[in-house]
Amino acid sequence: MRISPSLPGAAVAAALLFLPAIAVASDDTQTAKPAATAAEKPAPAPPADVTTPGAIDAGGQHIAYNAIAGIITVGATDAQDAQLGVDGKPEPGSQLALNEPKDPKDEPPVARMFYVAYFKKDARPEDRPITFFYNGGPGSSTVWLHMGSLGPKHVVTSGDEHLPAAPYRLVDNANSLLDASDLVFIDMPGTGFGRLIGKDAEKAFWGVDEDAHAFARFIARFITKYDRWNSPKYIFGESYGTTRSAVLADVLENEKSIDLNGVILLSQIFNFTNDIDAPRVNPGIDLPYELALPTYAATAAYHKKLPQQPSSLDSFLKEVEEYAMGPYAQALAKGTDLSADEKQQVAEKLRDYTGLPVAYLIKANLRVSGGEFEKTLQDDQDMTTGRLDTRFSGPTIDPLSEEAQYDPQSSAISSAYVSLFNDYVRKDLKYGDNQTYLPEALFGGFEWDQKHRGNPNDLNVAPDLADAMKTNPRLKVLVNGGYYDLATPFYAAVYEEKHLPIPQSLAKNIEYAWYESGHMVYVRDECLRQLHDNVAKFIQSTEGAR
């Protein structure tokens, strides 16, 4: 797994999220004109949208649909965006058109955002929910949710081992959400077939607030283009996509006057100080160790590393949660006042929950980071435990290293997802010939701007979702997570949601669903079915709540 180097500070740089190690070719969409210099070349127009028919059996229904692959161009500010036509060009007579620079390199920044939408045929827009999906990173395209979760196609990734090389298997998805909602999979600016164009475009779109506003403008343009203003609306973010969702929900509700019926979160992180790899460089912040302990316990049980295996995972995790927030939290709070006898007792209890040796736990001062746990749990077998999905394991690269040096789960499945999407989008969706699909953004040294609400310190977007829920008290939230996710531990999501700055009366608007899987809960077939059922039920219970 490639951790995004663009985020300064361990609290963010180690936090997420889903940027697999993929080598990406340079953009080949531009055709050179021999008589022009590079500065004189205008950006080529994006290809036209392409519509293809399809059908799927899902949720007990036979669903005929149209798939639309295309580009929507958004401006870097609301004022600029308002002057762009549906084709992404300045409206005739607008300030953008009147002040169009002579040199294309000085043009105002815009983002061409690639999407694939699936619309059920012959459905009335006002009767048909629509759900917008996106992955995280920050810097990831949405190839993972698109090809693995609730779309009409599904990459086969059974088991917890590295997949054999191509040919991979892409099948019809019997757990597609098309039985309950139309679907739109959106690639963030600068990924997929989308491109950033204009002066200082990276600065204009690559940041917490800039990114969320770009998605808000995309959604507003999308529902205008396809006449979906009166449809029930949902946003579905995974990983950093949940961070985006919190900010995006606030922007849509309070700046765009677009009420959402629901926010669906998968593998949540709102407060980046809760990242399990952050507190090593922030002594005195012990909460991440407490919130990660249930995931350590689930993982150790899965790999049969516990002195006594639990008979029930759910009841075992409840026990661990109580210990984590009780005796363990109290012991860590004592700091250097913790006696040697007390430390020994805590280490022995942690051994029972994590499978790690008592001597190691004492040497670690009872505080083990995510990377250290991944490297150490299966050290006796020279195996490294996964991060995105701790069920996965792989050979340790350096037996003498302190922490894991790669993510076995990311290595195990990334090729299948990227390969099959590139095949599917061109053969089935008829889009992308002679273009390069970027699974992740090419940051190239650019640093993602994590400043939010004017605060340049550790990112926490909990207030954004809280504001959206308070200004729209009918807004419902569904939190999903995997027991074996060490990138965004499930118990951290529980803690974050239960500490949202909202009235207690709004807590009933939040639902939770946990799965025996990892960060991408959908890679396990049984969990994909559960995810479908939970999300479909959530939509059906909220689509008429007006």
Q: What is the CA radius of gyration of the chain?
A: 23
Backbone angles phi, psi at 386, to 5 degrees: -65, 160
Of the candidates 249, 215, 212, which has an alpha carbon nearest to the alpha carbon of residue 234? 249
Q: What tokens does 354 get?
A: 């994590």
pLDDT given for residue 328 in this prediction: 98
Peptide bond into 167 cis (omega under 30): yes
CB 391 within 8 A of CB 160: yes
pLDDT at 206: 97
- CA distances for 200 relative to 91, 197, 203, 208, 450, angstroms: 22, 8, 5, 16, 17
pLDDT given at position 326: 98
What pLDDT is attached to residue 93?
A: 74
Which string of DSSP letters, residue by residue, matches 221-245?
HHHHHTT-TTS-EEEEEETHHHHHH
**Number of residues that make up the chain:** 546
Q: Supply the pTM of this predicted model.
A: 0.92
Which CATH fold would you assign to the domain 10-273+413-542?
Answer: Rossmann fold (3.40.50)
The runs of H, that is alpha helices, within 377-524 are: 408-427, 462-471, 490-498
CA distance 470 to 456: 25
109 token code pair: 């920044």
Residues of the chain with CATH 3.40.50.1820: 10-273+413-542
Q: What are the beta bridge partners of residue 231?
A: none
Across the chain, which has 546 residues, the per-10-residue mean pLDDT values are 35 44 36 41 79 96 97 95 85 75 79 97 94 97 98 92 92 97 98 95 96 98 96 98 98 97 98 91 93 98 97 97 98 98 98 98 97 97 97 96 95 96 98 95 92 86 98 98 98 98 98 98 96 98 75
Which pair of structure tokens corresponds to residue 42?
A: 């205008």
Cα gap 115→50, rounded to integer Å: 11
Please report the pLDDT score of residue 324 as a whole number.
98
pLDDT score recorded for residue 75:
95
| Whole-number pLDDT of residue 535 | 98
Query: Can you give the pLDDT at residue 158?
Result: 78
Tokens of residue 315, six digits: 């009841």
Q: How many Å apart are CA 206 and CA 202, to the nearest integer?
A: 5
Separation of alpha carbons 265 and 341, rounded Å: 42
